[in-house]
Structure 1
Amino acid sequence: MSQIQNSIQEIFSFHLFELPFYKFPYYLFFYLKQKKVKGLVHAETLVPMQLGESILSKKRYFLSRVVLVAFWKSEEDLDSFLNLSKKDPISRGWQIRLRLYRRWGKIRELNSAKLYTENVNRTKPIVAITLARLKISQLIRFTKWGKPVEKQVRDHSGKKLAFACFRPFRNFLTFSIWNSENEMIQMVHGMDSKKDGIEHKEAMEERNRKDFHSEFTTLRFEILKEMGMDVNQLFY
């Protein structure tokens, strides 16, 4: 993936790493909370999940892996954190550095993030992240409408990589890399029902009728840099 050389301030980073099972609860619930991390505005740690698998299937959950998505004041702060974490499992995992250029919806902790809209090349691969705080009362509806969308994204030809994540009991995230913004938009709006499907479009209409979430945001990013191990080795 291409590397953008222009100077930036705020960035996001997304990390996926393996760790011993006995360390899993600590990294999921307490990692970073006990540290004073310079320049870290907000972070979420979650369990990665395979799209399209039954919620009761063992194949769905990667319980020896953790996802960290973080919002930093600067790339220097991220580098400093990683330099101090060389003995940590995160140093041996996969990371991708991102610059935010579009936001729809609101998550309180991310509302201050700046949008960098200038010079975005939307014909190159882009990253889409959704982050949601689910209303527990809407879990059954959310699952009913969400599972078809998972399969639609998983099987779409414009997708390079996609998976979901969660942290008990109401935090959900989806992460996807697309060949281009246009291909992602075509899927979202079901522009070609045979190629793109209409599951996402129908789920959005249902969400607009009665929201599944107390908070929800969709974020779109330009890719700055990808580093570390081959991410496919963490899934396949």
Structure 2
Amino acid sequence: MSVFTYHLVKTDYFSALRILFSSPKSRNIPGLIHAEIMTVMTLGSPIFSPSRMLIRQIAVFAQWEDESNIENFLAKDSLGKILSEGWHTRLTFMRKWGKFNKFEIPDETTESENPDSPVVAVTIARMKFLEIPRFIHWGRPVEKLVRDHPATTLSLASIKFPNTVSTFSIWKNQKEMTDMVHGHSKVPKPKRHADAMKERDRKDFHFEFTTLRFKPISEFGEWNGQRNIIPYLKNS
């Protein structure tokens, strides 16, 4: 079974731009199925603000044949060595909605043995350019909902020009996450996500879009001075 990783690292402007414009090719990295490299954004921040797009912060979402390939990449590849200075989590697939090309997403689903165990959610989409203003209108309230939700331990967005957008969030347990999705959370304006999904169903924002749910199996490193970001996992 393949393993997914999500990496976060802060670097200098030159290195960040070089990474963004030289995305790794799976044929050149043993065991890599596909990777998306993006610039980190702050969820819910104003569109025109310095905090919206954090140029020096890089997010990488990748799929691998197995963990030995991840270890080899982090130890020997030039990009891998940079990413090894940041934080990452390793993930096993549980469930998907939608479709996104290049990743090899299984059709079968698995359920967590423990409903109180943490889950990770990743969304990734290719935007329709003319729908971006409408997407921002409906999407920013959802960003704020996820950002401020008491059941998330880390949440952020990311972007790759011209039209790839993504979100990443760690949830204390699956029920809290699904309650948020369906508008049942005990927070102000809980239906923001459900309302946005209805609008997407009415008229899609994307060429392709998927929401993925994962079981985290390990985490490594530090992000913004924090370790042990995922509940019940040991930090390495």
User: TM-score normalized by structure 2?
Assistant: 0.89
2: CA distance between counterparts of 1:97 and 1:31? 20
Return the match for 2:132 from 110, 134, 139: 139
2: CA distance between counterparts of 1:166 and 1:137? 17
State the match for 2:19 in structure 1. Answer: 27
2:155–2:168 CA contact under 8 A, matched in 1: yes
State the match for 2:8 in structure 1. Answer: 16
State the match for 1:233 in structure 2. Answer: 225
What is the aligned residue count? 225
Q: In the TM superposition, what is the alpha-carbon distance from 1:96 to its structure 2 partner?
A: 0.3
Q: In the TM superposition, what is the alpha-carbon distance from 1:40 to its structure 2 partner?
A: 0.5
State the match for 2:115 in structure 1. Answer: 122
Please give the per-residue CA displacement for 1:133-166, whole angstroms capped at 9, x wherever unaligned.
Answer: 1100101100000011111111111111100000
- Correspondence 1:109 to 2:102: yes
State the match for 1:163 in structure 2. Answer: 156
Larger relative contact order (CA 8 Å, sep ≥ 6): 1
State the match for 1:69 in structure 2. Answer: 61
Q: In the TM superposition, what is the alpha-carbon distance from 1:88 to its structure 2 partner?
A: 2.7
Quick one: which amino acid aligns to residue 26 of structure 1?
A: R
- Correspondence 1:200 to 2:190: no
2:26–2:33 CA contact under 8 A, matched in 1: no
2: CA distance between counterparts of 1:211 and 1:134? 9
Q: In the TM superposition, what is the alpha-carbon distance from 1:95 to its structure 2 partner?
A: 0.6
Quick one: which amino acid aligns to residue 143 of structure 1?
A: I
Please give the per-residue CA displacement for 1:94-134, whole angstroms capped at 9, x wherever unaligned.
Answer: 01000001011000212444656266433111100001011
Q: Alignment partner of 2:63: what SS?
A: strand
User: TM-score normalized by structure 1?
Assistant: 0.89
- Correspondence 1:90 to 2:114: no
Match runs of 1:34-73 below 5 Å: 36-73=28-65
Structure 1: runs of 5+ lacking an equivalent: 1-8
Structure 2: runs of 5+ lacking an equivalent: 227-236
State the match for 2:232 in structure 1. Answer: none
Tell me the C-alpha RMSD between the 2 structures. 2.0
Quick one: which amino acid aligns to residue 28 of structure 1?
A: L
Q: Alignment partner of 1:142: what SS?
A: helix
Larger mean CA deviation between 217-226 and 192-201 belongs to: 192-201
Q: In the TM superposition, what is the alpha-carbon distance from 1:52 to its structure 2 partner?
A: 1.0
Q: In the TM superposition, what is the alpha-carbon distance from 1:232 to its structure 2 partner?
A: 3.2
Quick one: which amino acid aligns to residue 63 of structure 1?
A: I
1:114–1:79 CA distance, 2 compared to 1 (3 A): farther
1:10–1:113 CA contact under 8 A, matched in 2: no
2:25–2:34 CA contact under 8 A, matched in 1: no
Q: Alignment partner of 1:58: what SS?
A: coil
- Correspondence 1:180 to 2:180: no
Q: In the TM superposition, what is the alpha-carbon distance from 1:192 to its structure 2 partner?
A: 4.2
Please give the per-residue CA displacement for 1:178-214, whole angstroms capped at 9, x wherever unaligned.
Answer: 0101000101111146457111010000000000001
Q: Alignment partner of 1:62: what SS?
A: strand
Q: How many percent identity over aligned positions? A: 38
